[in-house]
Amino acid sequence: MPGLEDLYREIILDHYRSPRNRGELPVPPAHKVEGFNPLCGDEVVLYLDVDPDTDTVRDVKIAGQGCSISQASTSMMSAAVKGKSVAEARQLIRAFKALMSIHEHKLEGEGDGADLQAELEGVRLGDLEALQGVVKFPVRIKCATLAWNTLQQGLDETG
């Protein structure tokens, strides 16, 4: 039986209680994107400042409300992608989804360890790995991925 400590690791509670990069950026030049989980009402707002010349995420600010998992994941995501190139950010999105056992464009099977290894190859998840325990609580996976889906949408819209 997975326990609460698997889900709510200390680093997650820390990001929940003291979220990083909270605030707003002027739009434009920043791009604002909102993610919403209609089932539980969780909401993520991202302000993305992508430098078109260098294709890097110059700055990111977050807002919104929701459960500890969704808000901590948003905070951790903002810290992870700030200063990264768009390509690196997209790689992080893929790696994070692989960590959550989400394999896009695949219908059958759970995906094997090799898949996860391939997606994670050369990616440093760092603190984000603390969210891996969420996988054992299937209904909470959508809480953890909300920020990342919102980031993906934001990058698609700016790119």
Applying CB under 8 A, the residues found at the interface with other proteins are 1, 3-4, 7-8, 13, 16, 39-43, 65-69, 137, 140, 143
Rounded least distance, CB 128 to other proteins, Å: 19
Q: Whole-number minimum distance, CB 1 to other proteins, in Å?
A: 6
- Nearest CB to other proteins, comparing residues 7 and 25: 7
CB of 17 to other proteins, least distance (A): 8
Sheet strands side by side (includes 42-51): 31-37, 42-51, 56-65
Residue (115 or 137) nearer to other proteins, CB? 137
Q: How far apart are CA 11 and CA 37, in angstroms?
A: 23
Under 8 Å between Cβ of 51 and 31: no
Closest distance to other proteins from the beta carbon of 149 (Å): 18
The distance of closest approach from Cβ of residue 137 to other proteins in the complex, given in angstroms and rounded to an integer, is: 7
- Pick between residue 57 and residue 76 the one whose CB is nearest to other proteins: 76
**Nearer to other proteins (CB atom), residue 8 or residue 90:** 8
Which of 72/80 has CB closer to other proteins?
72
Tell me the backbone φ, ψ of residue 41, rounded to 5 degrees. Answer: 80, 5
Sign of the Cα pseudo-torsion (1, 147, 121, 109, in order) = positive
Give the span between the Cα atoms of 130 and 45, in whole angstroms. 22
Residue 110: which region, alpha, beta or left (left: phi > 0; alpha: psi -120 to 50)?
alpha
